[in-house]
């Protein structure tokens, strides 16, 4: 099959970018979307042109590296699918395809379709962890966890941090990502001691990174390749409200005891 691509090309973070048209002929419908870009890149290299830069790693939909706006939708037209797991059979012969990087102030473009998602790492660093020493693995049932809590935590933990939620959000909000991380740990007993501190710190970092706020358009949930629900955002807000209402200044520890 043949497709016409309009790809965002930008030489560096500071350079001006623009959409460049490419004709991709002899594309197999069984190729993944990234394989199609690989084939195009090989042809570009043969012609002495700069190949299109894009992030990718596992190519099996679990690492969160790949991600681009394909025809105006994060990761393209298929639900619950990363760009690497999207196949050319989702398109028709002769289709025009627009490919753009994630757009957010907090995700500056590094080159072409590659953006810097370091903001996500800093949100995690702010509180997306459990700091109790865990030692060696415990017996599986040593800590009783309600089935529903385990399921909800697992669903939230499915987040691969790809940034599709930010890209799809009209406000470039990282609420779904942050909420997934807060819910994932907040549902489990091991996450309880730092639950309040975590909500305050991660939301604060999310704001510092210049992401927008949530207006519940629902676009993030639709774009998320892992199906994270906006229910996690209600959970984040609940934790945040409770944390803000109960927080106190750390008391000085003086004297003995």
| Beta strand pairing call for 69-70 and 96-100 | antiparallel
> Binding pattern to other proteins, positions 76-115, x when CB under 8 A?
----------------------x-x--xxxx---------
Residue closer to other proteins by CB (options 4, 45) is 4
Give the shortest CB-213-to-other proteins separation in angstroms.
4
Phi-psi map region of 75: left, alpha, beta (phi>0 left; psi -120 to 50 alpha): left
Judged by CB under 8 A, the residue of 165, 173, 177, 224 near other proteins is 173
Q: Which helix (H) or strand (E) holds 118?
A: helix 118-127
Residues in the chain: 257
> Binding pattern to other proteins, positions 206-225, x when CB under 8 A?
xx--xxxxxxxxxx-xxx--
Query: What letter does residue 140 receive in the DSSP assignment?
Result: T
Number of other CB atoms surrounding residue 26 within 10 Å: 8
Where are the extended beta strands (E) located within 112-178? Answer: 114-115
Residue closer to other proteins by CB (options 40, 233) is 233
Where are the extended beta strands (E) located within the chain? Answer: 3-9, 18-24, 69-70, 73-74, 96-100, 109-111, 114-115
| Interaction residues for other proteins, span 143-172 (CB under 8 A) | 152, 168, 170-172
Give the shortest CB-255-to-other proteins separation in angstroms.
25
Give the shortest CB-231-to-other proteins separation in angstroms.
4
Give the residues lining the site for other proteins (CB under 8 A): 6, 8, 19, 69, 71-73, 98, 100, 103-106, 152, 168, 170-173, 200, 203-204, 206-207, 210-219, 221-223, 229-231, 233-241, 244, 247, 249
């Amino acid at each position: 099959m043949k497709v016409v691509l309009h790809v965002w090309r930008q030489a560096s973070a500071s350079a001006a970018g623009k959409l460049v048209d490419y004709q991709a002929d002899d594309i197999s419908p069984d190729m993944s979307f990234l394989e199609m870009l690989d084939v195009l890149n090989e042809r570009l290299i043969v012609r002495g042109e700069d190949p299109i830069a894009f992030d990718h790693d596992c190519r099996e939909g679990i690492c969160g590296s790949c991600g681009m706006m394909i025809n105006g939708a994060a990761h393209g037209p298929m639900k619950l699918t990363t760009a690497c797991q999207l196949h050319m059979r989702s398109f028709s012969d002769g289709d025009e395809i627009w490919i753009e990087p994630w757009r957010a102030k907090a995700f500056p473009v590094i080159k072409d379709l590659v953006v810097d998602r370091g903001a996500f790492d800093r949100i995690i660093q702010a509180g997306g962890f459990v700091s109790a020493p865990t030692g060696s693995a415990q017996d599986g049932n040593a800590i009783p966890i309600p089935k529903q809590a385990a399921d909800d935590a697992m669903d939230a933990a499915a987040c691969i941090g790809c940034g599709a939620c930010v890209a799809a959000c009209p406000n470039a909000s990282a609420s779904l990502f942050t909420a997934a991380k807060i819910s994932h740990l907040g549902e489990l007993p091991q996450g309880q001691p730092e639950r309040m501190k975590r909500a305050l710190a991660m939301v604060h970092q999310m704001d510092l990174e210049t992401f927008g706020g949530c207006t519940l358009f629902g676009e993030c949930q639709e774009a998320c390749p892992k199906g994270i629900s906006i229910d996690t955002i209600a959970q984040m807000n609940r934790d945040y409200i409770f944390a803000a209402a109960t927080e106190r200044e750390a008391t000085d520890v003086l004297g003995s005891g």
